[in-house]
């Protein structure tokens, strides 16, 4: 077996522990952002009448259920 001192063992243990936390953190952050994108992408804010509605279709232009005007998906701001 490779001889290892206590200080090296502590350093190695801390490095592995911190790397594991960092990897978990990045993974959870990626999942959280992906979920947030999915939920905000379906919400549309109408510029004409000001109503907010949810649209799950893949079209870029979405018809407002209140006033019938077309809205862009990227027009949503202020959430």
Cβ proximity to Zn ion, 33 vs 52, nearer residue: 52
Do residues 52 and 46 make contact, with C-beta atoms less than 8 angstroms apart? yes
Q: Which of 12, 21, 31, 49 is in the footprint of Zn ion by CB under 5 A? A: 49
Does 31 interact with Zn ion (rule: CB under 5 A)?
no
Segment lying near Zn ion (by CB under 5 A), choices 7-15, 27-35, 39-47, 54-62? 39-47
The torsion angles phi and psi of 61, rounded to 5 degrees, stand at -100, 125
Please give the Cα distance from 63 to 44 (Å, whole number). 10
Does 44 interact with Zn ion (rule: CB under 5 A)?
no
Do residues 74 and 46 make contact, with C-beta atoms less than 8 angstroms apart? no
Q: Which of 66, 70, 72, 75 is in the footprint of Zn ion by CB under 5 A? A: 66
């Amino acid at each position: 077996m490779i001889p290892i001192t206590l200080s090296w063992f502590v350093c190695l243990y801390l490095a592995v522990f911190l790397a594991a936390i960092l990897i978990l953190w990045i993974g959870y952050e990626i999942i959280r952002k992906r979920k947030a994108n999915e939920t905000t992408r379906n919400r549309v804010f109408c510029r004409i009448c000001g109503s907010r509605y949810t649209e799950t279709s893949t079209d870029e232009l979405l018809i407002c259920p209140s006033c019938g005007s077309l809205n862009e998906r990227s027009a949503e701001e202020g959430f």
